[in-house]
Amino acid sequence: MIAAVSVVVGFGALSVAGTDTDAGSGAGLRTPTPSATASAPALPSGELQTRAPGVDRAVADLASLPVKGRAPKTGYARARFGKAWDDAVDVQFGRNGCRTREDILRRDLTAITVHADGCRVLAGTLADPYTGTIIPFTRGEDTSARVQIDHVVALSDAWQKGAAGLTATERIAFANDPRNLQAVSGTVNQRKSDGDAATWLPPNKAYRCTYVSRQIEVKKSYGLWVTPAERDAMRRVLASC
């Protein structure tokens, strides 16, 4: 019999998020506090999106990123980024004995039920930012995959844009950085695969400003570059914020 405790509120979501299909279960740098923009353009009637905080900073950071072609995928393997969901040290969770996946589930889900071990999330509710839908989560062999943890900047995309030159320690930090992790719909996560902003954006248009801003912050933090097409796609999204 599984012992569990109910938790009403999960961790607060990050303000700034490829792909990992591990349905089982972060080191990172301190997340800057974005400043709100003073004014925003009028939005069409019925549009729920508001100007995302930190857009001006994202625009400036994007302009500072190197622009290069995509390097070969040669040598890429998930193992290059360490053991999946390593309990790495980071400023948000620390080495708390829980897998990074569980940390993110506790952060992003609400009305959660946690195992007596204090780590494993047994049930909860996800307000999926990628689709704008509500997804109930129940831990189980046939149900856990409904909610997956997305690497906002995909691991293989990062590998082809500078991560191949990072140290092993830096790549482990990248793979477990809470800024680069987001609980999302498993179906949509599979569709994204390792796409960058030029090839994939969240179906929920109201989240695209935040999504692209997170990608830019992560790439800047780890010294990664963008392709010309990726840069242009990011510029278009930020221009609409």
Q: What pLDDT does residue 87 have?
A: 77
Residue 141 has pLDDT above 60, yes or no: yes
CA 130 to chain centre: 10
Within 13 A of 155's CA, how many CA atoms are on the CB side?
Answer: 25
Chain segment 149-176, per-residue pLDDT in tens: 999 999 999 999 999 999 999 999 999 9
> What token pair was written down for 13?
């979501």
CB 172 within 8 Å of CB 86: yes
Return the number of other C-beta atoms located less than 10 Å from residue 13's C-beta: 16
Chain segment 74-124, per-residue pLDDT in tens: 999 999 999 998 876 554 666 778 999 999 999 999 999 999 999 999 999
CB 135 within 8 Å of CB 128: yes
